[in-house]
Amino acid sequence: MIAATPTPPYYAVIFTSQRRDGDQGYAETAARMLERAQRQPGFLGVESAREDGLGITVSYWESEAAIRAWREDLQHSAARERGRADWYGAFTARIARVERDYGFTQAETSGSANPLR
Amino acid sequence: MIAATPTPPYYAVIFTSQRRDGDQGYAETAARMLERAQRQPGFLGVESAREDGLGITVSYWESEAAIRAWREDLQHSAARERGRADWYGAFTARIARVERDYGFTQAETSGSANPLR
C-alpha cells in the first residue's frame, strides 16, 4: 500500500537488500519488527516490495531523532544482527529528508494521492 | 541490483505506484524510459521492485537540477501522461535528499556495501 504521509518535510529510510536463500526465521522476525516499528513514536508509514531477490523497504519518520530511537531499540538491534549473520547477502540503508512530494489517484485528474491532504 | 551511489549528499526520487490490470504498452515504455534516464546528466542509479501490484522505484541523482531536467524531458513527459491515463491506479513521488548511508556485504563484517567506496 502507498503510505499516507503528511506534508513534507519528513524523513525516509530507504533500505535495499539482497536476500540469501532460505527463510531462517526471516518472515517471522520481519513481521514482528514491522509491528514494533508501527508503535514507535514518529513512525509515519512504510512501503515494501521484493522481486527476484531484490527488496526495497522505505519507512517514513517525523524526524531524525525518531529514526535514531528506532535504530537503538534493543529488539530491532538484535534483528539487525541476524540480518547480517543469516538473511542478507548485501544491503544499503539510506537516510533521506523528503523535501516535496506529489501524487495521483485514478479518480482525480491531478493533485495528491494522499488521503491525509 | 543495489545501486552503487557516491558519498552523500545526493538526491533520491522515491516513486511508489499501484498498477492497473493489463500491460497496455507499459513494459516497453518503462524499459525505454530506464534506458533514457541512464543517459541523463546527473543520473546515479536506480533500484526497482514490484510485488502484489505495489511497485517501488528509487532513482538517484546528483542534484535537484538533474531531477528537474529529467522531469522536463519531452519523452519522459509523454510517458508520464500515459502513466496517469493508462497504467497507474495511484502513485506518489517523493523527492528526497540523501543525508547519509551505510551498508553491508556478506564478505565484510562491517562497512560499506558500495563498491565505489
> Are the C-beta atoms of B33 and B113 separated by less than 8 Å?
no
Band of pLDDT at residue B114, cut at 50, 70 and 90 = low
Could A20 and B106 be called an inter-chain contact, meaning their C-beta atoms sit closer than 8 Å? yes
Is the CB of B113 inside 8 Å of chain A's CB atoms?
A: yes
pLDDT of residue A107: 75
User: What average pLDDT does range B9-13 have in this prediction?
Assistant: 98
Q: What is the mean pLDDT of chain B?
A: 92
ipTM of the complex: 0.90
Residues of A in contact with B91 (CB under 8 A): 2, 103-104, 113
% of chain B surpassing 70 pLDDT: 91
Three-class secondary structure assignment of A34-57: HHHHHCCCCEEEEEEEEECCEEEE
> Are the C-beta atoms of A69 and A42 separated by less than 8 Å?
yes
pLDDT digits (tens, 9 = 90+) for A53-110: 899 999 999 999 999 999 999 999 999 999 999 999 999 999 999 999 999 998 754 5
Residue B25 neighbours by CB distance under 10 Å: 12
B83 phi-psi bin (left φ>0, alpha ψ -120 to 50, beta other): alpha
| Nearest CA-CA partner of B57 in B18, B25, B84 | B18
pLDDT digits (tens, 9 = 90+) for B91-107: 999 999 999 999 999 87
User: Domains along chain B?
Assistant: 10-98 (3.30.70.100)
